[in-house]
Amino acid sequence: MMRQYELVERVQRYKPDVNEALLNKAYVYAMQKHGHQKRASGDPFFSHPLEVAAILTEMRMDEATIAVALLHDTIEDTTATRQEIDELFGPDIGRLVEGLTKLSKLDLVSKKAEQAENLRKLLLAISEDVRVLLVKLADRLHNMRTLDHMRSDKRVRIAEETMEIYAPLAGRMGMQDMREELEELAFRTINPEAHRTVTERLKDVFERNRNVIAEIERALLTLFEKYGIEVQVKSRQKKPWSVFRKMETKALSFEQLSDIFGFRVIVGTIEGCYLALGAIHTTWSMVPGRFKDYISTPKQNDYRSIHTTIVGPSRQRVELQIRTRDMDEVAEYGVAAHSLYKDSAARATGPSSDTNAYAWLRRTIEQLSEGDSPEDFLENTKLELFHDQVFCFTPKGMLIALPRGATPIDFAYAVHTDIGDTCVGAKVNGRIMPLMTELKNGDEVDIIRSKAQVPPAAWESVVVTGKARSAIRRATKNAIRKQYSGLGTRILERAFERAGKAFSKEKLKPVLHRLARKDVEDVLAAVGRGELASGDVVKAVFPDYKDERITQTAPRQREEGWYNLRNAAGMLFQIPGRASKKKGAAEGGEKGEGAVPIRGVRGDLPVRFAPEGAVPGDRIVGIMQPGSGITIYPIQSPSLTAFDDQPERWIDVRWDIDETTRERFPARISVTAINAPGSLAEIAQVVAANDANIHTLSMVRTAPDFTEMAIDLEVWDLKHLNRLLSQLKDNAIVSEAKRVNG
């Protein structure tokens, strides 16, 4: 276990003016508080916070962060209190220790909803001070290093959580070394056989290519010496997890991998990077499509470097990364490498908001305030954690970083939510392109907008960014709420009119508490959904009002509160104020009062038929379709079983035909007839003779001697349909004619 003076010496190597007293006090306090506590391995518990502190010294963190690491388990696991830590170490350290204490109680491997909520808390804590993230990641890294002492089932759960959340988060913050080690440790636990196989293959490849690697290093150093460029060349080998993931995602064998080895060229200045690149490309051929300049266009996590692949010595492909020493430090330590987190002035003002990595975190936190469910937030955050980036530009030259596979819709939402919501088209590099186009690095995207646009729900399956998905989902919910609200307004207008009162939304505000709703729109939407009876709203506004009409109606209507909906063709549906699954679907003919008109797809709540159709005389039921109104099904339709577990969507409806408007209704029949010339014409003649209309016809099955066809008809009512089926059955060429339900 590291001694007290050893810890101080480690910090002094990179910070000579270290506050030794703070580190000594934190060391002694934590050791005394943890006392004789033991870890699962049997080691003293204090060895854990001490190792976490040691990991942070490798990142060259300041003494305040090291002190927080030493103290991070004291409030949770000992008798220490926040007040005591504030008094001894100051409120800044006390706040960070308390934040980490709350995070230590989060079990991210719990069921999905809890995991999602805990991830929100984790990111919120990080957003307040990035040092929370650094200590948390160091804490997780040491726990992963000692994972073998845990139960096997717990080991796998913790490793999966590390692979899903912590490793990608470290990558997003630019901490590549930590990300690689976390992935490596998790991979070894989750898939030990694959880890062992890949590790052995890599070891074998290294032994066989040891001389080649040395030869390439010598060739590079000789080249740069010739051009007078002072450099440092380091070889590197891909990690087992990186190799395994590439083999899986690209369906490659181990032998097909060409970039197992790479070389890092470290120079003194940015100008030196481009001089080194010029020397390399004038000496060896570049592999087309394998050049990326992340110096002029940094990655979203602040990573900067030039990547190129050449056909180098021995005609082998050689992957090179060219960067400065500062860039190399940022590539390894990410946000921890920024001196802003290490000097006292920066600590007083908190972490900088200038880094791209931290800007991503801020944007993620902004989504928390936009009403997403925890599960949506978890899904969207994971989407953004795992994607590589492409870089696109607005017409004014603004750089937008997006996940690979992003579309112009993602681009529009990345610029601003309002731009995404009003997007109707896009120009990519000056050409009109489909909104589903996959964007590429360097594309210039110009979004075409319309204020009349509402984002279609189908966009959610097209986009890849969490922000776009959240905004589309939110817009869809708002559109459905608006439909219900519009229907509720119409219903209440009629209800108030029957009561002899004038309706206005202002009258609802004083009685919101009686209706247990937070605002007027909630009341209107609840009435539209059938959750709140219009009579209850009238009575809430006018407590002395008595609806004499209700006392004279049948018990069922008095309990259910039926409303009438007429479509554009004049057909009137009666819909109750409360949905009741499969109950009360009436056989027809009753006519209500006070119809609320629904004008097809242009109205507030469209009413449409299921594919199998329904005709007057059928017992029917309505299913609420979010975003598209009500679909009418015959009660015997097998399709209704799909909604058995969604009783809130069932709506009782009944026929009420306007006798002044004659209209045919859809029905589907199946006819099996002799396969002979003229058969189809004869069937069509029977249909026409019965004053029915064929809408569509398709051949379901054809054999040498018979044909089965599906016919979508339009008929007046159930009697009309039954009469037509009877006449078809009587025809000599027809062996079977029946109605199809679902």
The residues annotated with a catalytic role in the active site are 76-77
Here the tokens at position 158 are 């913790």
Q: What is the DSSP string of 470-514?
A: HHHHHHHHHHHHHHHHHHHHHHHHHHHHHTT----GGGGGGGHHH
Amino acid (one-letter) located at 317 = R
CB 276 within 8 A of CB 265: yes
Sorted by sequence, the CB contacts under 8 Å of residue 343 that are 6+ apart come out as: 62
**Residue 438: C-alpha distances to residues 360, 380, 390, 413, 454 (Å):** 22, 19, 10, 15, 22
Question: Which helix or strand (DSSP H or E) is residue 83 part of?
Answer: helix 82-89
Give the closest residue to 376 by CA, choosing from 389, 386, 364: 364
| Token pair 């390439």 in the structure block, residue | 216
CB 591 within 8 A of CB 572: yes
CA dihedral 310, 314, 315, 318 (to 10 degrees): -30
Amino acid (one-letter) located at 545 = Y
User: Could you tell me the sign of the dihedral formed by the alpha carbons of 715, 716, 719, 723, in that order?
Assistant: negative
CB 618 within 8 A of CB 635: yes
Q: What is the DSSP string of 545-588?
A: ---HHHHHS-HHHHHH-EEEEE-TTSEEEEEESS--TT-----S
Give the per-residue SS3 of 6-66. Answer: HHHHHHHCCCCCCCHHHHHHHHHHHHHHHCCCECCCCCECCHHHHHHHHHHHHCCCCHHHH
User: Could you tell me the sign of the dihedral formed by the alpha carbons of 310, 312, 318, 319, in that order?
Assistant: negative
Secondary structure letter of residue 437 according to DSSP? P
Q: What is the DSSP string of 245-288?
A: HHHHHTT--GGG-S-SEEEEEEESSHHHHHHHHHHHHHHSEEPT
Give the closest residue to 260 by CA, choosing from 193, 205, 316: 205
CB 73 within 8 A of CB 49: yes
Q: Backbone phi, then psi, for 562, in 5-degree steps?
A: -75, 145
**Residue 675: C-alpha distances to residues 174, 688, 699, 737 (Å):** 71, 21, 11, 15
CA dihedral 318, 319, 322, 325 (to 10 degrees): -100
Give the closest residue to 308 by CA, choosing from 271, 268, 263: 263
Q: How many residues does the chain have?
A: 742
**Residue 288: C-alpha distances to residues 313, 388, 423 (Å):** 18, 20, 35
Here the tokens at position 629 are 């109104």
Dist. CA 109–CA 116, nearest whole Å: 10
- Backbone dihedral region of 343: left (phi > 0), alpha (psi from -120 to 50 degrees) or beta? beta
